[in-house]
């Protein structure tokens, strides 16, 4: 295996790891923030559920943003896909 192939494999591994960590962190933060607010306001599980949904949405948005930032490497110089 050439050094360039190894570099590509490690780049792909780091991108996948970053995506999974970012998504999991977003969901956990939404969960714990909603759980804290539920305890503080006495609203039952509703803010926790909303926090999980917000966390999932933030995770998906972060993944799209991460992949969009990586996309210019694949585009042609004149901007055509």
Per-residue pLDDT of the chain (81 residues; tens, 9 = 90+): 888 988 999 988 888 898 999 999 999 999 999 999 999 999 889 999 999 999 999 999 999 988 887 755 555 556 555
Q: Which domain holds residue 51?
A: 22-66
Say if 27 falls within a structural domain. yes
Q: 37 Cβ partners below 8 Å, 6+ apart?
A: 43, 47, 48, 51
- Return the pLDDT at 15: 87
Q: 63 Cβ partners below 8 Å, 6+ apart?
A: 19, 22, 23
Say if 61 falls within a structural domain. yes
Say if 80 falls within a structural domain. no
**For the whole prediction, is pTM greater than 0.85?**
no
Total domains present in the chain: 1
């Amino acid at each position: 295996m050439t050094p360039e192939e190894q570099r590509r494999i490690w780049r792909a591994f780091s991108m996948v790891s970053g995506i999974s960590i970012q998504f999991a962190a977003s969901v956990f933060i939404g969960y714990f923030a909603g759980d804290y607010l539920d305890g503080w306001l006495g609203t039952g599980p509703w803010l926790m559920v909303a926090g999980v949904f917000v966390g999932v949405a933030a995770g998906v948005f972060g993944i799209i943003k991460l992949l969009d930032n990586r996309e210019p490497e694949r585009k042609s110089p004149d901007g055509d896909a």
